[in-house]
Structure 1
C-alpha cells in the first residue's frame, strides 16, 4: 500500500502485483474463505445452542426438526434481517464484543477448572500423547484459521488517521490473540486431554453457570458478524447483475446466500475439519502466500528488498506451501472419512 496509495483492498494489491489475473485470483480465494466462514458460524450456533438447550424438537410441515438442525434454522432466522441492512456500521460496533467474548471463554475454562471436581488433577491427560506428529497438519491448519481476517487489514490501514502507526495494530493484536489462544489451548488440554472436542464449549458440563457464560459469549460473534462476512460476496454478485432495482436485488442475493449456507451447515457434521480445510487451503493463501509473493513482485524490481529479507520470505513461502499441501490433503481425507 506504500507503493501505491490508490490500493484499498486485497484485490487491489493483486492488481498492482500481478495485474487482472492477480485481482481475480485473490478475489475468488477471499470469497471462498468468507463463504466457508459463514457456514462455520451457523455450525457454531447450531452446536452450541443444542448444548445449551438439549432435546428440543418441533414439527415443521410434518417433519420433525431437532438438535443442531433446528438451532441452525433458529440462528438463520435471527440473522436474516441483518443481511438486508444497507449500512452495517451498527453490526461493526457489536462485533467488537468479540474480544470480550474470547476473554470470557478463556475465563470460563479457568472457572470450570476451579469449580469442577476433575480440575487439573484428574486423569484427563494420562495416557495422552503430548506430541502427535500425525496430527500436526491439522493443528497447523487450525493455527492459521486463528489468524484469519487479513482481508480487512487494507481497510483498517486506509481508515487510520495516523497510518504510520499501522504496524503496531497487527503486532499488538497478534500478540494478544496468541496469548489468549495459548492459554485456551493449555486449559482445554489440561481439563480434557485427548477428549477435547473441536469446540471446547461442547466439553463443558450441561447446566453449569460457567458453561452458560462460555456458550452465550461464543454465540455473540456469529450473530453479529455473519452479515459483515457475506456482504463482500453479495456486493460482488450484485455488481455483475444488470438490474435497476439494487435494493430488492441485494435482499434476494443475501437471502439466497443465507439459505445455501443453512443447507450446508445442517448437513456438515465436522466443524473442526471444515476449519482445518479453510485454514490450510484458503487462510494460508490469504495470510502467508499472497502477501509474500506480492511484496516480492512489487518491491524487488525497485531494489527495495535486501537479500536477507528475500531469504526469510522464501523460507516463509516454503513453510506456507507445505502447510497448504499437507494440511489440505489431511483435512479433505478427514472430511471424506466422515461419510
Structure 2
C-alpha cells in the first residue's frame, strides 16, 4: 500500500480492491455506539470550559492580535484533528486504539514515549487544573464554613471519583458531557454580562489595551491552545460514535461552537478589564449574584469534565497492564480498576494542593502538552505514516507553519510559565 494514496476521511486507496473494502468497512455504522450529538457534546464539554476563563488574560498578554491567534488556532486544530484521525486508519486493515499507538507506529518506542508523556500531561494536568479551580472558587463562595482551599480540593476530588470509578468507558460518561456543555454556555453568558456592566465602571477608566505585544506572543499562543485541547480524547470519542464517517463534521462543528463561546468571552472581557484582566476572569467580574451563579456553574462543569479526561487516561493505563475481564475475571477486573482509578484521583488531588496557581498552571499546561499534541505531533505522525508527497505545496507550507508555531510556543511558553510559577512559590515563601 502506497503511503501517499490516502484520500477522503481515513480511506486508504489500494490497487487491491479487497483492501479498499476493508478500509471502508472500518468506518461502517456501529449500532451499539452513541449518536453524533453525544460525540459533539463530548468534544464541547472537554474542549470548552476553564480555558474560556483565561482568554481575556491571554489578550492582556498578547494584545488584540490574540483574537486572530484564537481564530488561527481553531483552523489549525480542526485540520490536525482530521489528520490525527486519518492516522488511526492509516493502513486500511485495522483501527489503532490510541494516540500512543499512532506514535508507536510512526516512530517506534521513541514516538510511544513522547506521545505518552505529553498525553499524560494533559489528561492528568487538566483535571488537576479543574480541582485547583473548583477548590479555590468554593472557598470564595463559602468563606465561613471553616474549610480552606485544600480541603475543598479533596472534597471535589472525592466527588469526581464517584463517576470515574463507577463508569468504565467514555460511552457511559458521555451523557455527563451534555450537562457540561450547557454549563459552559451559562458561564459565558455570566462573563459577558459582568464585562458589559464593568465597561462603565469609573474605576476601570484608566485600563489600557495593546494591539500586539511581541514578547508575549508565544505565551499567548500557549494559553489559547489549551482552549482546543481535545486531541487527548478524540480517539475515544470517535470510537464511541455510531457514525464514524461523520467525524470531520462533528469535530468542526464542536470546535466552531467552542470558538464562538471563546470570542464572546474574550472580546468583552478584554474591552472591560484590559491591562488588569485576570485568569480566571471570575476574579474581575462584579461581586453579585450572577457572578456567584457563574462560579457555581463552572464548578459543576469541571466536576463533570474531569471524569471524561481521567477515563481517557485510565483506559490506556488499564489496557497497558491488561486489566480486562478476559484476563482478570469480572470481579477482579472491577477490583483492580477501582483501585487504579482511586489512586489516579488521589495523585491528582495531591498535586492540586501543591500547586494552587490556576493562571500559571494553565499556561504551563497549554505550552507543554497542548502545543505539542495539537499542533506538532499530528502532522509529524501523518507525514511518517501516510506521507507528504501527495500534498500540494501550499498544504506543505501550511503544515510547516503549524509545526513551527507549535514548537516555538511550546518552548518559550513553558519557560515563561515555569518562571511565573517559580516567582509565585518564592513570593509565598517570603510571606
TM-score normalised to structure 1 length: 0.87
Distance 1:98 1:83, change over 3 A: closer
The answer to whether the 8 Å contact 1:15/1:22 transfers is: yes
Question: Which of the numbers 330, 334, 338 marks the counterpart of 2:420?
Answer: 334
Deviation at 1:99, TM superposition (A): 2.2
Which residue in the other structure is 1:169 paired with? 250
Provide the rounded CA distance (Å) in 2 between the counterparts of 1:223 and 1:75: 7
Provide the rounded CA distance (Å) in 1 between the counterparts of 2:320 and 2:168: 21
Deviation at 1:73, TM superposition (A): 2.1
The answer to whether the 8 Å contact 1:128/1:194 transfers is: yes
Which residue in the other structure is 1:73 paired with? 154
Provide the rounded CA distance (Å) in 2 between the counterparts of 1:161 and 1:91: 16
Deviation at 1:325, TM superposition (A): 1.0
Which residue in the other structure is 2:297 paired with? 217
| Runs of 5+ consecutive residues of structure 1 not aligned to the other structure | 58-65
RMSD (CA atoms): 2.4
Provide the rounded CA distance (Å) in 1 between the counterparts of 2:365 and 2:205: 29
Which residue in the other structure is 1:49 paired with? 138
Provide, for residues 23-71 of structure 1, a one-character-per-residue CA deviation record: whole Å limited to 9, x for no partner: 33212321221111111010011122122212331xxxxxxxx331221
Residue 265 (structure 2) pairs with residue 184 (structure 1): yes
| Runs of 5+ consecutive residues of structure 2 not aligned to the other structure | 1-85, 426-431
Provide the rounded CA distance (Å) in 1 between the counterparts of 2:125 and 2:150: 18
The answer to whether the 8 Å contact 1:108/1:210 transfers is: yes
Distance 1:261 1:165, change over 3 A: closer
The answer to whether the 8 Å contact 1:128/1:193 transfers is: yes
Which residue in the other structure is 2:168 paired with? 87
Question: Which of the numbers 33, 50, 55 marks the counterpart of 2:122?
Answer: 33
Provide the rounded CA distance (Å) in 1 between the counterparts of 2:161 and 2:235: 28
Which residue in the other structure is 1:62 paired with? none
Residue 359 (structure 2) pairs with residue 278 (structure 1): no
Which residue in the other structure is 1:63 paired with? none
Provide, for residues 134-172 of structure 1, a one-character-per-residue CA deviation record: whole Å limited to 9, x for no partner: 433322111000000112223343444444432222222
TM-score normalised to structure 2 length: 0.69
Which residue in the other structure is 2:400 paired with? 314
Distance 1:182 1:120, change over 3 A: farther
Deviates more, 1:127-136 or 1:142-151: 127-136
Deviates more, 1:161-170 or 1:252-261: 161-170
Partner SS, residue 54 of structure 1: coil
Distance 1:197 1:289, change over 3 A: same
The answer to whether the 8 Å contact 2:360/2:417 transfers is: yes
Deviation at 1:240, TM superposition (A): 5.2
Question: Size of the alignment, in residue pairs?
Answer: 327
